[in-house]
Structure formats: C-alpha cells, structure tokens
Chain A
Amino acid sequence: MASTVQQSEMSAGEIVLGLLIEQPDTCYHLDKRIAERLGSAQFSRGAASRAVERLLERRFVRPADVEEPAALRVVGGRKKTVYEATPSGVDHFERWLRASTQTPPVREELHAKIALWGPTELPRLIEIVREAELACTLQLRDANRGMRADRQAGDASEWERTMQLIVSAGEATWWDARIKWLQDVRMYLEREHSRQQVEAGSRRTRAPAR
C-alpha cells in the first residue's frame, strides 16, 4: 500500500508542474484544477501544496514574480502565492512526459500524461499506451500464474476453492478493465493521428507550389 501512495504523490508532482506550465497558479486553485482534469479523488486535498514543496526543493518551480497586483489571487481575504515553473522544471516535465510509463503501469501516471498531453506528437503517446497495454498483459499473465499455483496447492476444501476462484476472478476483472480501456484509448489515438495526417496532407496539397 505504501508504494501506491508513493507513486501517486510522485505523479502529483509532475501533474502540478504541468498545470503550472499551462498557467501559473496558487495551491488552492491547483487542487481544483487537478480534480477537474483528472476526474476523481485520487489525490487528497493538500496534495498540490505538498507537491509544490517538493518542486520548490528541486527548483522546478518558484514563486511567480508578482509585481502587478492583478497576479495576486485574493482568496478569502488572504493572498496566496502564485507559483510558476522554472526553465529546468519545464525541461524535467517534457522529459517525464515522453518517457515510457513505469512498470507496473502506474494508473495515476498514465492518466496524468494523457490529461496533460497536447495535440501533437501523438505517435509517442500511442507508443506509451501500447507499452502499457503489453505491460498489463504481462501483469495478467503473472497474476494468472500466481493464482494457478494457489489453486493447485492441493488440500483446500470445496468452499475454499470456490472462494479462491472468486478472488482470482476479481483480480482478472481488474486487468481486463485496464486492458480494454488501453485498447480503446490506443484505437482512438490512432484514429485521431491518421485524421491529423489526412488533414496535414490535404493542407499541403492545397498550399501553392513554390
């Protein structure tokens, strides 16, 4: 369980960094933006400020230069610091975005990348999704092996075997859902990519020859 907490906090850093690159902001608003973009209670409240602290340590973000009073977000009568990404922060983010997703495929990380990916460089994102899909099948395979070994360990009662089967089924269902989602995503992105290519192609043919 500790590892999943770690992973989600890790990704919170990159997500916050990505959002700050899009638009410098306060921790208060960042929490809201994370919820909007990533859609669920994956990150606890206050995850943004913890992430910002770590990003500050690594000098990936800094307080924004607030000369104009308009940059101050006055929340409930108190002003909150607006943060922005540093050049090394931008660099780190771009590299993280394009790197292969870690295995086991980290749910939050993949969600985060998809949420923050721009409309360009689709082939790389498609590649990342493909890798995640294949990695999931390997995970399924390994889970299957583990469950087979459990089932074959002989002297369980009928009841115990039934319960084991139900648990195995639950495990399989989880991977099933992941894989199908990744398949759907890949197909969608592939179609989007070819649509872009068709558009680019027709734009080229429409452009006057030089």
Chain B
Amino acid sequence: MEGLLALRDVWLSYPRGRRHVVRVLMDVSLDVYAGEVVAVLAQRAQGKTSLLRIAAGMERPDRGSVLFEGRDMWRADDSRRRRVGRRRRTRSPSVPIALVRPTSPDVDVPVVEGIALPLTGAHRGRQARELAARALEEVGAGECASRRWSDLSDGERARVAIAQGISRDPRVLLVDDLTATLGLGDTEDVAMLLHSLAAARELGVLVSVGDAQATRWSERVATLAGGALMLEPARPAAPAASAYLNVVDFPGG
C-alpha cells in the first residue's frame, strides 16, 4: 500500500565545476503514512535538505517520482507542468504539504502576525490571525503570540516554526533539521510535539535530523548517507530483504 507521501527511485545530482559531480540522492525510495513520524538520520551535507525539498515538490528530481496520495506531483497533464496542491490562482486553498525549516523571519513583527501574513491570501485578515493564534496554541506556544522572534528562546522558535507549518492545515509536514541547536529537553519536547500532532491530525510527518536524540518519538528511522537512504518498510508483510528483519522483535513494538 502506498503512503500518503511516496518517493520512488529518486535520483538527484548536480555538477561541481567540470571535474566533479555531487550525487546527492541515488535511487531513494520511501513512504510516509498518515499518523506516523518518519525520521531521516543523516550527517551534515548528506542531502537532508534536498530530500525534503523534493518531497515538498519544491525541487524536481533528475529521475524517479514523487507521489502525494498516489498521484505524481510532476505529471505533465497539461501544457504547463503543474504541481498537485497549488493552484495558479492567488486564492490558494490549503497546501497539503508544508515544509518547516529553522529560518528567521525577515521582519521582526509579533509572532502571530508573522504566521498570519502568508494566510491572508486565502483568508480575511482577522480569520488569518485566528488561525495563526490557534496554531500557536496547538503547539504550546500560545504565549509567544504577541512577542517578537528576537525575544524567543531556541525551543520557542522551534515550536513557532512548527505552528507556521500546521497553520496551513497540511496533510504532510516536512521538518528540516529543526533541533540541531537545541538541548536535550527542547529536542525531546519538539519530538513529542510532532508525534502528537501526527496522531491528532493524522498527518504524515517526515523529519530530517542530525543525531539520534531527535528520533525517540519517530515510528521509523531511516538513514541517509552517500546518496543512499535505508528505511525498513512500514508494513511487516512487506518482503524482508534479508533474514535480519525477523530476528529482533521486542514486546511493545
């Protein structure tokens, strides 16, 4: 069965001058199902961001397909290639895939304004602000609403970034290395938050992380290195590539 989000045999590389080619992703496949968090564990410069950009439909792979609800994002069924989930009009309905990255906003406005602004395309100003406020409450950052970004702690910033992601009511949430600079407690909190959001909203969540601390609340853990991604299949019924998959079975698993 296909996941909510699926990558199939994805390849991505780019040239570096005339003498080198950087192979970022080689034959990468993965599925993310509704209600689960999948973590991709990778060291720096191993393609975490590229992987998520491709999953978000922001970048097109050289080869392979990216599927949302079974439909290829990059299908060319009209004269201009169109991505599933984003209409060309200005009044866009909710985008089903949101990408969350640790960036700072360009203007230092109150947090709730910063989240509301991108929503004003589809909603009236007051509605947008309400949605923003609700998203902040949902991630436990309600009291950050009237504060400014520069005043927030790192942990609060991470929550606000997630609030921004879910404010558009996505079906899939992609989170790019949000906990890199967080300590133990904050990392745990963010991981737990994503886990409960996935369950409560039936989201498919794909997070890229730089270390295993952040994987504690993920149902499955993939590794990405040297362009190769390894991930156990979600359904135990899937054919096991080798015997090792059957050996370790802990209670509660």
Contacts and interface: CB of A to CB of B under 8 A. Distances in A.
Contact of A149 (B213, B243, B252): B252
Contacts of A103: 244, 247-248
A26 to B, nearest CB: 38
A165 B184 contact: yes
A135 to B, nearest CB: 5
Interface string A110-142: 000000000000000000001101110111111
Contact of B252 (A130, A139, A145, A179): A145
Interface stretch (A43-51, A68-76, A182-190): A182-190
Interface stretch (B74-82, B91-99, B142-150, B219-227): B219-227
Contacts of B252: 145-146, 149
Contacts of B216: 144, 147-148, 168, 172
Given A104-B248, A145-B250, A145-B252, A140 B230 contact: no
Contacts of B215: 140-141, 144, 172
Chief secondary structure at chain A's binding surface: helix
Interface string B238-253: 0000111101101011
Contact of B212 (A138, A149, A166, A175): A175
B43 A180 contact: yes
Contacts, number: 93
Interface centre among B185, B188, B216, B221, by most chain A C-beta atoms within 10 angstroms, is B216
A1 B27 CA distance: 40
B253 A186 contact: no
Contact of B222 (A100, A137, A148, A169): A137
Contact of A142 (B185, B217, B243, B250): B250
Contacts of B213: 169, 172-173, 176
B232 interface: yes
Given A100-B242, A173-B212, A138 B230 contact: no
A186 B26 CA distance: 14
B190 to A, nearest CB: 13
Contacts of B243: 100
B114 to A, nearest CB: 31
A183 B225 contact: yes
Given A134-B223, A137-B222, A148-B217, 20 more contacts: A100-B242, A100-B244, A103-B247, A103-B248, A130-B228, A131-B242, A133-B230, A138-B232, A140-B215, A145-B253, A165-B184, A165-B188, A172-B212, A173-B213, A179-B41, A180-B43, A183-B42, A183-B225, A183-B226, A187-B226
Interface of B: 41-43, 184-185, 188, 211-213, 215-223, 225-226, 228, 230-232, 242-245, 247-248, 250, 252-253
Interface of A: 100, 103-104, 130-131, 133-135, 137-142, 144-149, 165-166, 168-169, 172-173, 175-176, 179-180, 183-184, 186-187, 190
